[in-house]
Structure 1
Amino acid sequence: MPKAISNNTPSDASDQETPPGPTETVTIGDTRVTLLGTAHVSRTSAEEVARFLASGDYDAVAVELCPSRYRTLTQPDSWGETDLFRVIREGRAGTLAAHLAVSAYQQRLAEQLGVDPGAEMRAAIDAADEQAVPLWLIDREVGITLKRLLWGVPWTHRLALVGGLLTSFLSREKVTEDDIERLKEGDVLESTFGEFAEHSPRLYNHLVGERDRFMAARLRQEVAASRRSGSFDQGVGDGVETGNRDHVLAVVGAGHLAGMVDELSRSDAADPATTIDELNQMPPRRRWLRAIPWLVVAAVAVAFVMGFRQSAELGFRLMGEWVVINGALSALGAAIAGAHVLTVAGAFVAAPITSLNPTVGAGMVVAAIETGLRRPRVTDFDSLRSDITHLKGWWRNRVARILLVFIMSTMGSAIGTYLAGFRIIEQLVR
């Protein structure tokens, strides 16, 4: 049974001027796991991680990273391999935009503090490589977390989430390193959405609680696999045989420390694979929510039929208003996003048609047109991380602008659909 032990620091930590971050040690079977709480944009946290691993006390390193975030951190040029057409076609443009906005916020904090975001994770990766010990990626894919966050809470909480993201991104208030270090105190949430999640248990659960369970399950899974094999199974790259695992260092955000200790200390924990599968599933969409777009289409079609039954003039007028209102608002959204003039025209044509087919979104078509007309250059991918830290950069960078075009044209079409619908009903009941 895993159980909590007293706080643990390397032997030389007491000699440092900077006090160590929060740590806890638990046991999983015969394996000790020391969890080190860090702040994701803190120079002190990066130095702490390097100091812990320099002690040579650890036989494996676990980090709060998923495979995609690991690639972004270790291969900063990997953005250039992004297939935007595929992202748009698979409906992941909004998720990618949200991921970029979060990255932009952390990058802005990092610029103020003079430290790269994720420097403590980078230090752990480098130390694991230098010492030839296994590296485990234990966090859930960021895209899954964002989707569960979006679809697992009421629409009012979604507004708070989007508002928190925009506020964090647009704010230019200076943040000191002391402020960042306070993230180590207690159960503090991820900095980007913290203020909003603190007042919403459901947001907190998706953002922090679920990931506490996921990372605890991944640790159990890796420890069990290593015990079965009798050697270290390196999580990234080739395995390196170094004997039985005795001590693992897990580098995680301080806000996850207490929750992970609770999970790892439970004697009734479910099978790790079962927990991981459960937490990777998308929340079931309510049937009535899935039916709304089709009900809107049916209502519009019925309205057109009723209009033509009254008179051909009314029927054509209703169709004309549907096209003008829906198309104009989607085109306006594309124009605000800085789309090409032909993309704006495409939005005007596509939105009234796609709004009558819920399987194809206006934003998907419009963003594809923009991508074809202004295909991102290598320099756009190279400068993406720096451009998105400034509001103007979202319009200047072609990759970011395509995502804006997708979002703004989609919003315009959605608003236009309901405004045109109300307008049609108004004319039918006169």
Structure 2
Amino acid sequence: MSFDPPGSGSTDSDPDSDSGRRPDSASGGTAAVTPDGDGEGSVRVVGTAHVSHRSVDEVRETIEEERPDVVAVELDEGRYRQMKGETPDDLDAGDLLRGNTVFQFIAYWMLSYVQARMGERFDIEPGAEMLAAVETAESLGVDVALVDRDIQTTIQRFWTRLSLVEKLRMGGALAFGVTDPRVAGVVFGVVAGLVLGPLVGLFGGAVGLTTPLLVAVGAGGVVGGAAGYLAYAAATGADTTTRLAVAAGVGLAVAAGVAGTGVGVDLLASLLSEFVLGALGSLAVGVAVGVGVGGVAAVAADALGVGFADEGEEVDEGFDPDDLTDADVVTAMMEEFRTVSPGGAEALIDERDAFIAHRLVALRESGARVVAIVGAGHRAGIESYLRSPETLPPMESLVGQAESTGVPWGKIVAYGVSVGFVGLFVLLAMAGVRNEQLLALFGAWFLVNGVLAAGLAKLAGARWSSALVGGAVAWMTSINPLLAPGWFTGYVELRHMAVNVADIGRLNALLSDETRPVSDIVSEMLDVPLFRLIVVVAMTNVGSIIASALFLLYVIPAFFSSFEAGVTQLMLDGARESARILWTTLRGLA
């Protein structure tokens, strides 16, 4: 699968001219480039549109006319063998779960979805021109050269080169493009609300959100959630969307009634404690604010037509996908992509231009006559390098994993949490806090992390065994930046399922179905092993992150409320005692 910008351009360049010449776009997308004066070999570049039937015909005709020694195609080994059906398409679970690979795979999936939708719109399989090139070359007995960089390397470098702002921008744009904007807005609102909730508990008093009010809201949320679930279960004769609407309406009404009147709040506080209800209340307020803001933004996006056009909407009759062979169109689209994501453009376009050119220069220097089939988004860059090979960057700079050049805020925060957690227990021990009290505090850390990580994993559809494993290790992974509880949950899940590349096609087909309720589509997406695995892993990690915030903002203050000195004073006392012991030890050594 190729992830070039959906465009194509073509020129027939004069090999004796640096600038070349541009024919009418209908004449084809080729360029013949030979070495300067050595006559060893030649490369003819054919720029194709991935969604153009004419490009497929042009590829076949060019190869049959030229009868070259080698046909070079913009494919790597993995994509070529997958296209030929020579290897199983199972995904490596270790690669999928390790580090940022989940995020890289999501980027891979989203980009493939965009291209699949383009192919559906123009009634052609994306990459058909590459398949046509391979089949035509094989039928003529011509060698085929795979000249593209490994797709996993490209996606890793693409994700790493994106700044945090670019990642958020791309994620938002793609999410609003692949689903109903209202759904995307609400989902973003829920996620933002879960982050906002702990801040409400910490600073809410400054804006009138007192502890008694949060306790009442938390009690309302518990009773309203139960009422909503019962309403959903009772509406068995209705469709899923109607059942969810009924459940939401009943739940919100009951929650508002309990929070407003205070009925049953004292009873729930005696059963669950004010601490638990206050924490739930702050989360409920945060989620309500997040969903409200996300919903408003989503409605605005929907009104402005953000996202793909409806399936029933006709393509502009004046638009012909073959017009994408015009070089000016490609240039405009490339520049637009660079504006949105300069880092991503470097990995997806510029580096691959250089990598492919390296391979083509090597073929040319071997004396081969080459016809190179590439997406037109790469044509100009490749031709420039073919004319001036000395400008090529070293191949070593184009392979391997890229290192992030920005500030690693994620790692800084993760290591900060680790140091803070260990430092808390060390300083409290040095301050004279008893072992049983430290053990109780650790037990609270274990319990809060375990319950939230396992609970959200189960909510996402994990098996009980997977959820419990993730919950059991959440306390440890929360203080170790090299681990994540979702990995453990995912590995256990994979004992009962197999994920493969075909799952991407199923997901794309579901996302493209705009005739069914979104709730039904999401339900079926969760039945796709790959999607369920990603959701389970993500939700386990989110649960652990929320648990860490709740522990810091709620558990620690509540735990030390019975101490004469607050937690800050105890930590200061521990630091003084540590410094005293260290100083005494150093003096003794001196």
What TM-score do you get using the length of structure 2 for normalisation? 0.58
Q: Quote the Cα distance in structure 2 between the aligned partners of 1:184 and 1:320.
A: 65
Please state if 1:61 is matched with 2:192: no
Q: 1:33 aligned to 2:33? A: no
Find the counterpart in structure 2 of residue 240 from structure 1: none
Paired position in structure 2 for 1:216: 357
Q: How far did residue 76 of structure 1 move?
A: 7.7
2:365 is equivalent to residue 258 of structure 1: no
Equivalent residue number for residue 467 of structure 2:
344
Contact 2:163 2:406 in 1 (8 A): no
Partner of 1:299: 420
Q: Alignment partner of 1:65: what SS?
A: coil
Q: Distance in 2 between matches of 1:262 and 1:287?
A: 30
Relative distance call for 1:172 and 1:130 in structure 2 (3 A) is same
CA radius of gyration, larger in: 2
Q: Does 1:269 align with 2:269?
A: no
- Residue 39 of structure 1 aligns with an amino acid whose one-letter code is A
1:388 equivalent in alignment to 2:398: no
Distance 1:103 1:145 in 2: 14
Which of 377, 397, 402 is matched with 1:283 structurally? 402
Using the alignment, how far apart are the partners of 1:310 and 1:112 within structure 2?
70
| Offset, 1:307 | 4.6
Residues 218 and 276 of structure 1 are in contact (CA less than 8 Å); yes or no, is this contact kept in structure 2? Answer: no
How far apart, in 1, do the equivalents of 2:116 and 2:86 lie? 13
Distance 2:494 2:422 in 1: 32
CA distance in 2, matches of 1:53, 1:5: 25
SS at 1:48 equivalent: helix
1:292 Cα deviation from its structure 2 partner: 4.7
- Please give the alpha-carbon distance, in whole angstroms, between the structure 1 residues aligned to 2:455 and 2:62: 54
Q: Is the 8 A contact 1:189 1:208 kept in 2?
A: no
Cα distance in 2 for partners of 1:411, 1:2 equals 59
Aligned residue in 2 for 1:322: 445
Cα deviation, 1:212-248, whole Å, max 9, x if unaligned, reads 1111112112323x33xxxxxxxxxxxxxxxxx23x2
Distance 1:368 1:87 in 2: 10
The amino acid that maps onto 2:46 is: L
Distance of aligned partners of 1:57 and 1:143 in 2 relative to their CA distance in 1, 3 Å threshold? same
Aligned-pair Cα RMSD in Å: 3.6
Name the CA distance, whole Å, in 2 between partners of 1:310 and 1:71.
65
User: Which amino acid is 1:367 matched to?
Assistant: G
Are the counterparts in 2 of residues 79 and 381 from structure 1 also a CA contact under 8 Å? yes
1:368 aligns with 2:368: no
**Closer, same or farther: CA 303–108 of 1 in aligned 2, 3 Å:** same
- Superposition deviation, residue 328 in structure 1: 4.5
- Residue 205 (structure 1) aligned with residue 346 (structure 2): yes
- Paired with 1:189 and 1:396, the residues of 2 have a C-alpha distance of 41
2: CA distance between counterparts of 1:336 and 1:263? 53
Structure 2 segments unaligned to the other structure (5+ residues): 1-14, 180-306, 512-521, 559-566, 570-590
Give, in angstroms, the shift of residue 256 of structure 1. 1.2
Q: How many equivalent residue pairs?
A: 395
Change (3 A) 1:89 1:202: closer
Aligned partner of 1:235 in structure 2 is none
* Matched residue type, 1:158: K
1:101 aligns with 2:101: no
In structure 1, the partner of 2:540 is 409
Residue aligned with 2:494, SS: helix
Which residues of structure 1 form unaligned runs of 5+?
Answer: 228-244
Native 8 Å contact 1:138 1:215 kept in 2: yes
- TM-score, normalized by length of structure 1? 0.78
Quickly say closer, same or farther: Cα 1:71–1:189, change in 2 above 3 A.
farther
2:101, 2:156 within 8 Å by CA — same for their partners in 1? Answer: no
Matched residue type, 1:22: G
Q: Could you tell me how far 1:127 is from its partner in structure 2?
A: 0.8
Moved more, 38-47 or 332-341: 332-341
Asked whether the 8 Å contact 1:53–1:124 carries over to 2, the reply is yes
Structure 2 residue 457 is the aligned partner of structure 1 residue 334: yes
Per the TM alignment, residue 426 of structure 1 is displaced from its structure 2 partner at its CA by: 6.1
Return the offset for 1:121.
Answer: 0.7
State the alpha-carbon separation in 2 of the partners of residues 401 and 179 from structure 1. 38
Instruction: Find the residue that maps to 2:61 and give its secondary structure.
Output: helix
Question: CA separation of 1:206/1:424 partners in 2, compared to 1, >3 Å: closer, same or farther?
Answer: farther
Q: Which of 321, 346, 355 pairs up with 2:478?
A: 355
The answer to whether the Cα contact below 8 Å between 2:159 and 2:344 also exists between their aligned partners in 1 is no
| 1:398/1:257 CA distance change after superposition, 3 Å | same
Separation in 2, partners of 1:179, 1:408: 43
What is the CA distance between 1:399 and its match in structure 2? 3.2
* Distance in 2 of aligned mates of 1:384 and 1:417: 33
Kept in 2: contact 1:361–1:410 (CA 8 A): yes
